[in-house]
Amino acid sequence: MAAIAELPLSGLVVVDMSQFLSGPYCSLRLLDLGARVIKIERPDGGDLSRRLYLSDTEIG
């Protein structure tokens, strides 16, 4: 069985204080590359994207 290759950003710690769409997306990509991402959110509701409604259509 082949050994798992170390990801390029392994060992890097990222503190994410971003609020809307592109910032959290970039943090997700850094996580995919092996970084440890610590997300800091507002105490009164978190990331603004959590309250974003894209449609009136119910999913599920």
pLDDT digits (tens, 9 = 90+) for 32-50: 999 999 999 888 877 877 7
pLDDT given at position 48 = 77
**45 part of a folded domain:** yes
pLDDT given at position 26 = 92
Lowest-confidence pick of 4-8, 18-22, 29-33, 50-54: 50-54
**21 part of a folded domain:** yes
pLDDT band of 19, cuts 50, 70, 90: confident
Q: Quote the domain boundaries for residue 29.
A: 13-51
The number of distinct structural domains making up the chain is 1
User: What is the mean pLDDT of the segment spanning 15-26?
Assistant: 89
Q: Cite the DSSP H helix spans in the chain.
A: 22-32
Region of 54 please: left (phi>0), alpha (psi -120 to 50) or beta.
alpha
Q: What's this model's pTM, rounded to 2 decimal places? A: 0.69
